[in-house]
Structure 1
Amino acid sequence: MVPTHTLFQSGSFVQFAYLQALDLLSTTAFLLNGVAEANPMVRWSMAVAPNPIGGLIAIKIAALGLAFWCLRMGRDRLLFKINIFFAGLVAWNLICLIISSHR
């Protein structure tokens, strides 16, 4: 049996990076369809950057830095919980895109 610590650490960062990429893509799809960003921090980053996608990428790079810090500090369970949140967020984004494209 693999220890719980190893299970959390082995793929949490890779999963987080993958979920961030999916969130970036779904947010881009929202923007292309005229839907405004809901997160105030992301909205601010997109407003102050030379272009909105650059601001969005900057936020994602910062998020990857925080995830790496969590991993290095042994906060594997926190990163695992954040992954669950982002998996739900990406699913929600896709549901909203599907519904809006049907209209």
Structure 2
Amino acid sequence: MWLIVIAAIGAWFYWGNPTLNVANQFWKNDAAPWEKVTAIYFPDNLKTYDHMVTEDLNNVAECRNVVKIQANLRNDPDFHRGSYICNVGKEREEGGISIYRLSVR
């Protein structure tokens, strides 16, 4: 019995992605302790090419604080003109595009 359990866990580590599975299970709306958060702030929703990126944040709350400071500096504290996104857990890059585990606001 124990041999089957050990083999199943070994297969999970070999073919699966245990850190991703654990993060999805226990940190559904925030960063797991081993993940970083990237804040993307758009000062003007009509000009999405104009944005500010802040990387290596510890959690979503820190992301929200960073973008609120940026919005306040631009006299838009309620995000009437701008918006933001908090990207959690960068998994990989494909063709110059970053793929994250989770994106929250």
Q: Into which bin does the TM-score normalised by the smaller protein fall?
A: under 0.3
Task: Pick 1 or 2: higher relative contact order, CA cutoff 8 A, min separation 6.
Answer: 1
Q: TM-score, normalised by structure 2?
A: 0.28
| Greater percentage in strand | 2
Structure number with greater Rg is 2
TM-score, scaled to structure 1: 0.28
